[in-house]
């Protein structure tokens, strides 16, 4: 069912206004509009400064599933359109008011038509958020078809995916917050008309709560920010002159607390900390609310960005975060709710203050958990709980004499902003409680029940004690860059308290689900080996990262890279290759070069440095023999820096391998026809290699880069390719198991062109399906092409295509 058909069915006899761009079978775009008023005076309403509209009406709702289904009467749909965004949100509700799912239509733009009515110019790509919190991208095939037909440009495609990513990163896939936001919209509606429809041009302004905020008449855009669990309402503001601000609205009874928080922000901003700096503060909405107007920190949520970074980049981000936290802890604590001063002389010692909290959790555990039939239910959970209580009592002395400084209160990656210049900014000081605490209590490695990012957290601890990546002259020997043992002893005490608090608080249903508390207790117990080792097992004590022209490079040990200055300033490092080589982008001011170096103690090297150098020397001949448009252009090689450097022509290309998440994600979003062309180029190169007598060893997605300017693949890693005949001399050969045939695991087996057919079939599943399951359900191309790829990855050699040329012919037939 096309979007036009869905729109007709959704509108029915109801008074719905909306505009979609519809892809016709002819490949053209037509505008379909149903222009009817929700209310008799709808046309007289005008868009105000808040630039948003919403509607709610009864309808036969679409239920999200693999197929389009229809529900009966009583279902409702909420539609929300922010004029300043490139998406429209539709929320669907069952007759009992239960939410079904949320649907984001991504658009080129949202706008007002000639009648002053809100419209959206749909651009095919859609995003569904399910009740389980899964973000499902829809209609990628339609977007690709539109690109192929020339209906949309590459810029449109990139922008559509960027909008999709921004929706997720902004927190719209958080079910609890999404439900809350939509409920607030509905509460701000006009009375429904006879058809059960209601309309509101400015649902973000119930009760005129922004009245009294200085300059609000110049607010051109207001975007609600739903991420986070505080009771504050948060908005991203853009003024008429383009200035961006953050606005927080709280109940008036929080005045004293918010005033204290505002004072601390003033002090923090005065010493140059990168944060949302104060602009103004006071009452609004006739004294019913209190506002904080702050500067906007431009950038991306670090918590959302971390999975997209390489492991080395995650570590570097942790170093920056640790250095920033150290600066925050240099701030004194509040003496009272309005002023800033050093810690009051009569303040309770930290060991008294904190152990009161500990004792409260212990009492709750013993009185209401340990002696009941409730959560946790497993004997192991009770054993871990008892040992945690015992540990907290026995190690109470660790709290003695601890200093008290300013605490941010919620210093986690999602409250840090990765700014365009690479620095980190800190936001959301609303957990600040007007007091202070042990600075080492501030380290929060993970949310309850979540998984630790070992690279980020290791960097966080080291950056706190030794400084961040700006300290490029780090001279500490490798064995001294880990935090002191005393820190880990105290840190493990706070981890134990957090585990008990999670168990108690989630069991009371105050925060989260009971299972989260049980899981977090188990995690902490495992991290600390049952409290036998204060150093968490996720801490990477042997991790070594070196800085080259300000760029991080992960190694096994220090290495002198000063020779790289011959090629220019290093602006990019690729240190995550299984081959053991490290690659660099270097710019001498006249031209850029791609430098592949063998001989450094690379972190992932699986051979000796001497073996890596010899392998690179052999590769020079291979690059010469296999010269091809899809192969990197080798300019020259030379012995230098105690190793061997191969210098290639620089291409603005990005790795497709899983170890580089950001560039891989970008490649996986290119239109299907372009991806097909890339795959066919890979096939043709390997057919060319086979004709030259070579067998591809260690081919995988990390061997491939993609040039977005020239729209073609670039293959770099061919060091292990060998002339036939090739015999398996290792048992398990080098390579990624996702791409390796059975004979590459069998000692003495012959490896040949049929082996490479398997690798090419695996590449097809990597690009167009799921290379783990290789199921048809996750395949994105035709059934015929699926059968071709499935044949190529047969475990039985005789069942595969017997040459790469045969595979190409079947694939392109």
pLDDT tens per residue across span 557-611: 889 999 999 999 999 998 887 677 899 999 999 999 999 999 999 988 878 889 8
DSSP 602: B
Closest CA to 622 of 562, 697, 569: 697
Instruction: Give residue 231's pLDDT.
Output: 66
Beta strands in 510-652 (DSSP E): 544-548, 551-555, 569-574, 582-587, 592-598, 634-640, 643-649
Per-residue burial over 701-712, b if 16 or more Cβ lie within 10 Å, else e, is bbbbbbebeeeb
**What would the two tokens of residue 137 be?**
């991208």
**What is the reported pLDDT for 222?**
79
CA 173 to chain centre: 12
| C-alpha dihedral sign at 605, 607, 608, 611 | negative
Helix spans in 637-709 (H): 661-668, 672-691
423-435: average pLDDT: 73
pLDDT digits (tens, 9 = 90+) for 538-557: 999 989 998 899 899 999 88
Q: What is the dihedral of CA 673, 675, 678, 682, to 10 degrees?
A: -120
Q: Name the one residue in this structure whose structure tokens are 């046309």.
A: 43
Closest CA to 398 of 488, 315, 328, 333: 488
The residue count of the chain comes to 813
Model confidence pLDDT, tens digit, residues 38-87: 323 333 333 333 455 555 544 443 333 333 333 445 667 777 777 777 88
Is residue 497 within 8 Å of 351, Cβ to Cβ?
no
**DSSP H stretches of helix in 135-211:** 140-148, 154-169, 175-187
pLDDT at 37 over 60: no
Contact assessment for residue 700 and residue 736, using Cβ atoms and an 8 Å cutoff: yes
According to DSSP, the residues that pair with 640 across neighbouring strands are 643
Segments of 673-786 assigned E as strands: 694-695, 704-707, 712-715, 722-723, 726-727, 750-751
Model confidence at 21: pLDDT above 60: no
Mean pLDDT of the 134-160 span: 84
pLDDT of residue 15: 27
Write a three-state SS string for 604-662: CCCCCHHHHHHHHHHHHHHHHHCCCCCECCEEEEEEECCEEEEEEECCCEEECCCCCHH
Name the pLDDT band for 379 (thresholds 50, 70, 90). Answer: low
pLDDT at 13 > cutoff 90: no
Bridge partners for 594 per DSSP = 585, 648
Judge contact between 306 and 453, C-beta under 8 A: yes
- Whole-number pLDDT of residue 588: 94
DSSP 416-470: EEE-TTS-EEE---TT--SS-B-GGGG---S-TT----HHHHHHHHHHHHH--TT
Three-class DSSP category at 535: coil
Q: How far apart are CA 650 and CA 593, in angstroms?
A: 5
Identify the top-confidence range among 136-140, 227-231, 618-622, 662-666.
618-622
Tens of pLDDT, residues 276-316: 889 999 998 878 889 999 999 998 888 888 888 889 999 99
């Amino acid at each position: 069912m096309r979007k036009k058909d869905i729109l007709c069915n959704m509108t029915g006899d109801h008074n719905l206004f909306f505009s979609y761009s519809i892809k016709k079978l002819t490949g053209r775009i037509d505008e379909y509009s149903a222009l009817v008023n929700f209310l008799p005076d709808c046309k007289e309403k005008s868009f105000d400064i808040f630039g948003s509209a919403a509607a709610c009406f009864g309808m036969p709702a679409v239920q999200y599933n693999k197929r389009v289904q229809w529900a009966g009467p009583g279902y409702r749909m909420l539609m929300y359109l922010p004029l300043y965004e490139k998406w429209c949100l539709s929320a669907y509700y069952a007759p009992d008011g239960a939410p079904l799912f949320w649907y984001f239509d991504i658009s080129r733009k949202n706008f007002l038509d000639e009648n002053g009515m809100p419209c959206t110019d749909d651009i095919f790509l859609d995003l569904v958020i399910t009740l389980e919190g899964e973000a499902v991208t829809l209609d990628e095939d339609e977007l690709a078809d539109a690109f192929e037909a020339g209906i949309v440009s590459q810029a449109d495609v990139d922008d559509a995916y960027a909008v999709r990513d921004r929706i997720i990163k902004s927190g719209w896939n958080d079910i609890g917050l999404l439900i809350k936001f939509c409920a607030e919209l509905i509460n701000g509606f006009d009375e429904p008309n006879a058809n059960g429809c209601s309309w509101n041009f400015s649902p973000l302004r119930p009760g005129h709560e922004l009245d009294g905020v200085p300059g609000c008449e110049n607010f051109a855009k207001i975007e609600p920010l739903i991420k986070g669990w505080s009771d504050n309402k948060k908005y991203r503001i853009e003024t008429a002159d383009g200035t961006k601000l953050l606005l927080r609205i709280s109940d008036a009874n929080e005045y004293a607390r918010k005033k204290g928080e505002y004072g601390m922000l003033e002090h923090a901003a005065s010493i140059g900390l990168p944060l949302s700096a104060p602009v103004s503060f006071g009452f609004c909405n006739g004294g019913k609310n209190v506002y904080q107007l702050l500067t906007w920190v431009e950038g991306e949520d670090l918590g959302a960005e971390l999975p997209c970074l390489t492991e080395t980049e995650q570590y570097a981000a942790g170093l920056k975060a640790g250095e920033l936290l150290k600066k925050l802890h240099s701030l004194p604590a509040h003496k009272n709710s309005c002023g800033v001063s050093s810690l009051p002389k009569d303040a309770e010692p930290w060991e008294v203050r904190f152990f009161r909290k500990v004792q409260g959790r212990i009492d709750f555990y013993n009185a209401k958990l340990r002696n009941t039939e409730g959560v946790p239910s497993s004997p192991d959970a009770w054993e871990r709980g008892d040992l945690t209580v015992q540990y907290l009592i026995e190690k109470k002395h660790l709290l003695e004499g601890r200093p008290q400084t300013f605490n941010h209160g919620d210093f986690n990656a999602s409250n840090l902003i990765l700014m365009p210049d690479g620095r980190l900014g800190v936001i959301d000081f609303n957990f600040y409680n007007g007091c202070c605490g042990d600075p080492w209590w501030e380290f929060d490695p993970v949310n309850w029940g979540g998984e630790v990012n070992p690279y980020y957290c290791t960097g966080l601890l080291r950056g706190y004690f030794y400084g961040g990546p700006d300290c490029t002259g780090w001279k500490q020997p490798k064995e001294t860059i880990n935090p002191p043992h005393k820190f880990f002893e105290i840190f493990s005490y706070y981890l134990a308290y957090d585990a008990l608090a999670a168990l108690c608080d989630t069991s009371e249903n105050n925060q989260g689900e009971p299972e989260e508390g049980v899981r977090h207790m188990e995690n902490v117990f495992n991290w600390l080996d049952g409290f036998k080792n204060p150093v968490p097992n996720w801490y990477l004590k042997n991790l070594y990262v070196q800085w080259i022209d300000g760029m991080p490079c992960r190694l096994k040990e220090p290495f002198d890279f000063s020779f790289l200055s011959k090629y220019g300033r290093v602006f990019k490092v690729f240190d995550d290759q299984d081959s053991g080589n490290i690659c660099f982008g270097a710019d001498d001011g006249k031209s850029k070069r791609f430098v592949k170096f063998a001989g450094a103690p690379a972190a992932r090297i699986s051979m000796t440095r001497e073996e890596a150098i010899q392998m690179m020397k052999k590769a020079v001949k291979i690059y010469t023999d296999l010269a091809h448009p899809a192969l990197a252009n080798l300019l020259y090689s030379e012995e230098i820096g105690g190793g061997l450097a191969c210098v290639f022509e620089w291409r603005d290309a990005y790795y497709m391998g899983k170890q580089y998440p950001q560039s891989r994600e970008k490649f996986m979003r290119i239109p299907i026809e372009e991806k097909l062309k890339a795959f066919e180029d890979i096939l043709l190169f390997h057919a060319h290699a086979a004709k030259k007598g070579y067998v591809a060893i260690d081919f995988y997605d990390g061997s491939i880069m993609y040039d977005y300017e020239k729209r073609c693949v670039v293959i770099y890693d061919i060091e292990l390719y060998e002339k036939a005949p090739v015999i398996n001399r290792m048992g398990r050969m080098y390579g990624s198991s996702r791409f390796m045939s059975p004979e590459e695991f069998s000692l003495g087996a012959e490896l040949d062109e049929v082996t490479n057919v398997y690798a090419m079939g695996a590449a097809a599943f990597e690009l167009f399906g799921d290379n783990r399951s290789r199921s048809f359900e996750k395949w994105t191309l035709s059934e015929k092409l699926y059968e071709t790829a499935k044949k190529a990855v047969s475990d039985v050699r005789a069942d595969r295509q017997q040459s790469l040329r045969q595979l190409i012919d079947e694939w392109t037939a």
